[in-house]
Amino acid sequence: MAVLRNCSIRFHTTDNDKDGDTHVTVNVFDSNNVLAAHVDSDFGHFDDNSDNGPFQLIVQNPSTNTALQSGRLDLRIDPNGHDTWHFNFLLDLVFDDNSHLSGGADGISLDQDNRTTSFGLSGLVH
């Protein structure tokens, strides 16, 4: 059974930028709620209408392709003060047999009052 070898995420900022000091956390969990991959960083300023990444997540546990298909992706921002970020993302999971699961979502908005969002991978990746 194929296990996770690599994971990356790309962001496309739409009409509201991300401040350079807004911290972003990305966690991928498998269906057993095991943390499979993680990254957190400020990543710098993301301009309006810009592409940023791919950013490599650190594989924490070699979760299987099957377990990840019904896992989840958690995104969180921690702004330094006020920040509203509008964006799309594309997640790419690469397994040791060179197969991929990838997918994304559009039209996401996070800010200092609404810092987190989650996506079930079953409806996201293919």
Q: Which residue has the tokens 């019904």?
A: 70
Expressed as residue numbers, the domain containing 100 is 4-123
As given in the structure block, the two tokens for residue 32 are: 């057993």
- Cα dihedral 123, 18, 52, 50 in deg (nearest 10): 100
Q: Write the CATH number for 48.
A: 2.60.60
Give strand ranges (E) for 3-111.
4-13, 23-29, 35-41, 50-59, 72-78, 84-95, 100-111
Q: How many independent structural domains does the chain possess?
A: 1
The tens digit of pLDDT for each residue in 97-111 reads 999 999 999 999 999
Read off the pTM.
0.96
pLDDT at 124 over 90: no
Average pLDDT, the chain: 97
Give the pLDDT of residue 123: 81
As given in the structure block, the two tokens for residue 64 are: 């299987």
